[in-house]
Chain A
Amino acid sequence: MQRFKQLALATAVAALMGVAGGAGAQVSDNVIKIGVLTDMSSLYTDLAGAGSVAAAKLAIEDSGIEKKGYKVEIVSADHQNKPDVGSAIARQWYDQDHVDVIVDVPNSGVALAINQITKEKGKAFLASGPGTSDLTGTACSPNTIHWTYDTWMLANGTGTAITKAGGDSWFFIAADYAFGAALQRDTTAAVEKAGGKVLGGVKAPLNTQDFSSFLLQAQASKAKVIGLANAGGDTTNSIKQAAEFGIVSGGQQLAGLLVFITDVHALGLKNAQGLTFTTTFYWDMNEQTRAFAKRFAPLDKGIYPTMVHAGVYASLLHYFKAVEALKSDDGTKVIAKMKEMPTDDPLFGKGSVRADGRGIHPAYLVKVKTPAESKGPWDYYKMVATIPADQAFRPMTAGGCSLVK
């Protein structure tokens, strides 16, 4: 009997957690339930995180969808950058909590898992956070739209634009894993196509603290441009140390291949000035983007919106339009409708969604201002060039997506 009690306790704990985890599920046809799956506790909290939830709320407000008789709910969760945690949440959301659409998901590993589950369950996934271009390539799905950016577009945009502007010899410092290799490969292709030369590269292990050794190699290569095929802390540390070693003042140019405005903010203009990279959104482009930023910042600890935040907002606006047009929130149908309808929103302007799920809009090559040029908080970028929408992203036929015939 004693034994039994002990077990009963153990299993009761287990049962409680399972049940409680699934609580809150209600069947209701007229509720559009949005799941914001993001990183709230680690690397990507600043560029996505709570800001993505805020962006989703603003999208609901601005779409006026609730006034049209739809009930909209938001749930959010932290995937902790673990694909298994993320996919367990997504499965539960779809199976039990009647979530109709998942948005954001920074971190490619988690996003690919969500992409797969969303397809299995016939729901909708608006990927704003992840970078991997596989989402519209070999892993493309009729239930996923990849909105904001991808690695191919960053590599191509930055590589082409800088080479054409005279930066025709490159050296890479690449993070030594699939992501860094893909960025380096795609940038190399773009540089060579634009008539430039790649002089060499060095593979730096992930989470390297000290980049000075790699920077010295880059300096010695005499390349005009040093391409940083890395992300997050690796990027900020390499930029900071490049300033210390006088690389930029020595005449070489730094090209970031994945940089967010929060990274620039974290570095400070003194360290980041002169850095060139591609983005699809900057808050200080026009009246509408500025108005959005003014409303957004107070909701996210004063952080100005990154392109990921903007993507969450814009992709949801488009999603609501498709839902209204269809009067249904069936995932597969809504995504198909979203691909049919042209996109038009205050942040990305007019555009479209391709058959492979790629959101199409212009991209911008920007250069970080010097401290003297900056006039106020978060006034960080100078627009260098606009890459038109039809050239910004990988041609549909080159991706290997099975939806493209």
Chain B
Amino acid sequence: MATPTPVAMTAAAGARRFALGFVVLAGVLALVPFAGIYPVFVMKALCFALFACAFNLLLGYGGLLSFGHAMFLGTAGYVCAHAAKAWGWPPEAAIAVGTLSAMLLGAAVGVIAIRRQGIYFAMITLAIAQMFYFFYLQTPFTHGEDGIQAVPRGRLFGLVDLTSTTAMYYTVLVIFLAGFAAIYRIVHSPFGAALNAIRENEPRAISLGYDADRYKLMAFVLSATFAGLAGATKAIVFELASLTDVHWTMSGEVVLMVLVGGMGTIFGPVVGAFVIVGIESYLSAGLTLGSVVIGPEWVTVITGVIFVACVLAFRRGIVGEWLAWRQRRRPGTPPDT
């Protein structure tokens, strides 16, 4: 998709900037439990932030809009929940097997989906995800609309009791930061550069000897894997896995997060996830603005309005607009991604 083209800058300067940003982000998030902020909200936002970052890897850097990414989030959630509950696996193993399942699914779906581009690609992923939705709805181990409930959080590595909210919070934070850093590394590796080249101009990249399909497939599998990591972690946090996470509206929601935050920017999806999850939580109890009361029944409409507004007027997203604004003010500053 058309995104502000990342301008090359010296790798060292970019890495320094990212490192600084990363440390500040980690520091602020680490303070959350002490700041009186409700940690379950932040855990949820972090899971979605990782999901959005994974999605951004594919859309922002690979130029592929998947409209079925919920299947990876949901599959990993179900597998993880089932492993933890039915098989009694410890949380780290359950999350690992959930993530692995998303990776394998990503490989299988990717092989079919990357045969087509653009709108076709979006529609194929959507259709395959819809197949999986019906599969999970009907298969007994997911318990239909009830979902897998009362998943034990267990003890991490047999040591840390995750039923403590604080312990759970830091576990989620570490998983998020690790995933986030890994995605940054991937984007800024030779692989990421090749992927970018393919997104910019596929025929040229092919003529330069890149096997475009192989790169796209890799990107798809990586994206699915991180989405799976997010889904599996979410299942442990909320102690449940449900159909919500495989429904196509979830696939739409992650597109929105990336769009709002800024696609093709490293920090954008994180911001977008916090904004969207925040709106969802806010509006669930209604919102009072002066004398106007916006009830929870308007949440769908407001989501739609944000979608439309972003597409029409705000295509760079929050972080993207901010970077562009800074670029205009101080043309000398190298933009970062």
Contact = CB atoms under 8 A, between A and B. Distances in A.
Do A and B interact directly, with beta carbons closer than 8 Å? yes
Contacts of A17: 41, 45, 274-275, 277-278, 281-282
B244 A81 contact: yes
Contact of B240 (A9, A20, A84): A84
Contact of A45 (B41, B286, B297): B297
Nearest to B17: A3
Contacts of B299: 41, 78, 80
A6 B21 contact: yes
Contact of A83 (B144, B238, B267, B298): B238
Nearest to A20: B282
A9 B318 CA distance: 10
B71 interface: no
Given A15-B35, A109-B147, A206-B137, A87 B238 contact: yes
Given A85-B280, A205-B134, A9 B322 contact: yes
Interface residues of B, number: 62
Contacts of A75: 285
Contacts of A40: 295-297
Interface string A1-30: 011101111110111111111100000000
A266 interface: no
A194 interface: no
A87 B240 contact: yes
Interface stretch (A90-98, A153-161, A274-282, A306-314): A90-98
The prevalent SS among residues of B at the interface is helix
A181 B140 CA distance: 10
Contacts of B298: 41
Interface of B: 17, 20-21, 24-25, 28-29, 32, 35-38, 40-42, 44-45, 134, 137-138, 140, 143-147, 149-150, 234, 238-240, 242-245, 267, 270-271, 274-275, 277-278, 280-286, 295-300, 319, 322-323, 326, 333, 336
Interface residues of A, number: 59
Nearest to B47: A84
Contacts of A179: 144-146
Given A75-B285, A88-B281, A139-B150, A22 B333 contact: no
Contacts of A178: 140, 143-146
22 contacts: A3-B20, A4-B24, A6-B323, A7-B25, A9-B322, A10-B270, A15-B35, A17-B275, A75-B285, A76-B296, A81-B244, A83-B147, A83-B149, A83-B242, A84-B44, A84-B240, A84-B245, A85-B244, A88-B41, A88-B281, A95-B40, A178-B145
